[in-house]
Amino acid sequence: MSVIVTDAGFGPDTWTGDAALDLPSDTPPAELEAALGAELVRVDFPSFSDGRGFTLAAMLRRMGYAGRLRARGHVIADQYAMARRSGFDEIEIDEALAARQPEDQWLARADWRAHDYQSRLRG
C-alpha cells in the first residue's frame, strides 16, 4: 500500500477519479502536451538520484497543467521542498520508505515556501 505525502503529512490515497496518466522519468518534453488534459499525472522517480521528474513537473506547470501532479517512487524527505517548488502537489511513497523516513521528517520540510535561498537573501 502507498502513503501519500502532502504539506499536512502522511495520508491515504484519496484519488477516486478516472485512471491517472503515468509518465516515466525519461518522457521526452515533446510528449508532455498529451498530459495537459489529465486530472492526475503521476511522474515516476525510479531513483532518488534521478531528478528528471522535477524538470517534467516544472515543464508541465509552465505549459498550463492545472490538475493534480504526483511524484511517485523514490523521493526522499530531503527532496520534498524541491518537489513542491517544481510543481508537485503530493508524493506517493511505499510503506517501507515511510517507516525509514517518518512523517516528522517530511513535515520539517512542509513549509517549503519559506525555506528557499531567495527568501533568506531577501529577508
**Domain limits at 70?**
2-8+20-26+36-122
CA distance 58 to 77: 19
In a domain, 89, yes or no: yes
Q: Determine which of 12-16, 71-75, 118-122 has the lowest per-residue pLDDT on average.
A: 118-122
DSSP 33-57: GGGTT-SEEEEEESSTT-THHHHHH
What distance in Å separates the CA atoms of residue 64 and residue 101, rounded to the nearest whole number?
33
Split into its structural domains, the chain has a count of 1
**Residue 87 counted as domain residue:** yes
Let me know if residue 52 belongs to a domain: yes
**Quick check: 7 pLDDT over 60?**
yes
| 13 inside domain | no
State the pTM of this model.
0.89
Question: For position 75, which CATH number holds?
Answer: 3.40.50
Mean pLDDT for 57-86 is 96
Whether 14 is in a domain gets the answer: no
Residue 15 falls inside a structural domain: no
